[in-house]
Chains A and B, each alone.
Chain A
Amino acid sequence: MLVTLNGVSKSYRSVTALRDIDLELRPGITGLLGPNGAGKTTLLRILATLLDPSAGSVGVDAWDPANVRDRTEIRRRLGYLPQDLGLYPRFTAFEFVDYIAILKELKDRDDRHRRVRAALESVGIEEVAGRKIRTLSGGMKRRVGIAQAIVADPGLVLLDEPTTGLDPEQRIRFRQLIAGLGEHRTVVLSTHLVEDVAAVCTSVVVLWQGRVLFNGPPVELRAAADGMVWNAPESSPTAIAAWRTESGAFRIIGPKPSGDATAVQATVEDGYLLITSKSPAGVR
Chain B
Amino acid sequence: MSAGTMAPIERREAPAKSEGAGAWALIGIETKHLLRSILIGIGVVGAVVATFRGSSGEWPTLAGADGVALRAGDFMGAFALLAGAWLGLRDNRTGAHELVGSTPTPPGSVRGRRLLSLAIVSTAAFSLVFLTSIAYAFARGGRGSPDLRLLLDGALATTLASWVGFGIGTLTRSIVVSLFAAPIYGLLSSQGLTYQLNIWKSHASYQWITPSATLPDRSPTLGFFPDIFWLHPLFLAGVATFLFSFVIVAVRQGSIGQRLRGPSTGVLVLGLATALIAGGSLLAKPDGYAPNGSDPTAWVARYDAGTALFADKPFRFADDHRATTCASGRVLTACVYPAYGPKLARLIVTEFEAEAELFHGLPGVPTKIRMVPAEGLDCLTKDGAMAFTEGDIYFLNDQFSSAKGAFVDCITKGSLFGLIDTQPSDARDAIKVWYLLERGVFTPAQASAALAEPPGQACTGPNGETCFDVVQILTAGSWTPASVRAALAMKALPVADVIRGLRPVWAGIRAGTLPLERLPGQAS
Contact = CB atoms under 8 A, between A and B. Distances in A.
B99 A102 contact: no
Contact of B25 (A75, A109, A215): A109
B99 A86 contact: yes
A86 B98 contact: yes
A87 B94 contact: yes
Contact of A76 (B14, B18, B21): B14
B15 A203 contact: no
Contacts of A45: 98
B95 interface: yes
25 contacts: A1-B12, A45-B98, A48-B102, A72-B104, A72-B106, A76-B15, A76-B104, A82-B102, A86-B91, A87-B94, A87-B96, A88-B96, A95-B29, A99-B29, A100-B99, A100-B103, A103-B105, A104-B104, A105-B18, A105-B22, A105-B105, A107-B22, A109-B21, A148-B99, A215-B1
Contacts of B22: 102, 105-107
Interface in A73-90: 73, 75-78, 80, 82, 84-90
A112 B90 CA distance: 24
Nearest to A156: B12
Contacts of B99: 80, 82, 85-86, 100, 148
A282 interface: no
B347 interface: no
Interface in B1-55: 1, 3, 6, 9-12, 14-18, 20-22, 25-26, 29, 33, 36
Nearest to B17: A105
A86 to B, nearest CB: 3
A152 interface: yes
Interface string A128-159: 00000000000000000000100011010000
A256 interface: no
Contacts of B97: 86
B391 interface: no
A121 interface: no
Interface residues of A, number: 48
Residue among B36, B98, B106 with the most chain A CB within 10 A?
A: B98
Contacts of A72: 104, 106
Interface string A63-76: 00000000011011
Given A1-B9, A88-B90, A148-B99, A75 B104 contact: yes
Contacts of B17: 76, 105
A50 interface: yes
Given A75-B104, A109-B21, 20 more contacts: A24-B3, A27-B9, A73-B14, A75-B102, A76-B15, A76-B104, A86-B95, A86-B96, A87-B96, A100-B103, A102-B22, A103-B26, A103-B105, A103-B110, A105-B18, A112-B25, A152-B15, A153-B12, A184-B10, A215-B1
A199 B20 CA distance: 43
Contacts of A103: 26, 100, 103-105, 110
A107 B26 contact: no
Interface string A187-214: 0000000000000000100000000000
B396 to A, nearest CB: 50
Interface of B: 1, 3, 6, 9-12, 14-18, 20-22, 25-26, 29, 33, 36, 90-91, 94-106, 110
A160 B13 CA distance: 25
A216 interface: yes
A168 B112 CA distance: 43
B12 A155 contact: yes
B9 A2 contact: yes
Nearest to B100: A103
Given A100-B99, A103-B100, A106-B15, A24 B1 contact: yes
Contacts of A95: 29
A82 B98 contact: yes
Contacts of A215: 1
B33 A90 contact: yes
Given A49-B102, A86-B91, A148-B99, A102 B25 contact: yes
Residue among B21, B25, B90, B100 with the most chain A CB within 10 A?
A: B25
Nearest to B9: A2
A25 B103 CA distance: 21
B246 to A, nearest CB: 21
Contacts of A77: 12, 14
A169 to B, nearest CB: 26
Contacts of A2: 9
Residue among A45, A50, A99, A215 with the most chain B CB within 10 A?
A: A99
A167 interface: no
Contact of A107 (B18, B36, B102, B104): B18
A215 B1 CA distance: 9
A50 B102 contact: yes
B21 to A, nearest CB: 4
A232 B10 CA distance: 50
B20 A107 contact: yes
Given A75-B104, A100-B103, A109-B21, A50 B26 contact: no
A102 B94 contact: no
A87 B111 CA distance: 18
Contact of A105 (B15, B96, B98): B15
A148 B99 CA distance: 9
Given A1-B12, A86-B96, A89-B94, A102 B102 contact: no
A212 B474 CA distance: 100
Nearest to A71: B104
A108 B21 contact: yes
Nearest to A89: B94
Residue among B3, B12, B18, B103 with the most chain A CB within 10 A?
A: B103
A105 B104 contact: yes
Nearest to B12: A155
A255 B10 CA distance: 46
Residue among B15, B26, B106 with the most chain A CB within 10 A?
A: B15
A270 interface: no
Contacts of B29: 95, 98-99, 102
B112 to A, nearest CB: 13
Contacts of B101: 50
Contacts of B1: 24, 26, 203, 215-216
Nearest to A111: B15
A76 B17 CA distance: 9
